[in-house]
Amino acid sequence: ELSNLKIEIEEMYDTFKENEMDEFREIQKELDIASKNCRILQFKLRKSERRNEVIESEKVNARDHIRCLEDELKHAKDVQSQLNDDIDLIEDKKSKVEEENRQLTEILEQADKKQFRMEMDIDRLKDQVSMS
């Protein structure tokens, strides 16, 4: 009976060992799958991190570009304001020159009329002197 018991124990031990080996192989497969998934996820994480770095760099570049454009716009507005002020001054000067030109034209016309009258008076006086 002891020998039967011994055989039974050995069979139980073998069965237990087989079950343990099957379970070990199953766990090993699961570990391999988990390891592969982990490598895939690490690859995807690194790819996402690189993409994020590129996006952050582009974001910084875009902000710098926006700042440059804002500076250019401010400068353009300042130049426009200065040009508008210059135009106003030039238009004022133009108006004054046109008014001065009108006045001088009027004075010239009056001088021409006066000269014509004087020439007429001279001609009349010459005629009177020559008749007398």
Instruction: Kindly state the percentage of the chain with pLDDT values over 90.
Output: 87
pLDDT in tens, 100-131: 999 999 999 999 999 999 999 999 999 999 98
Length of the chain, in residues: 132
The verdict on pTM exceeding 0.85 is: no
Q: What is the CA radius of gyration of the chain?
A: 55
* CA gap 78, 3 in Å, rounded: 109
Of residues 131, 28, 15, 45, the one with CA closest to residue 123: 131
* CA gap 75, 81 in Å, rounded: 10
* CA gap 132, 129 in Å, rounded: 5
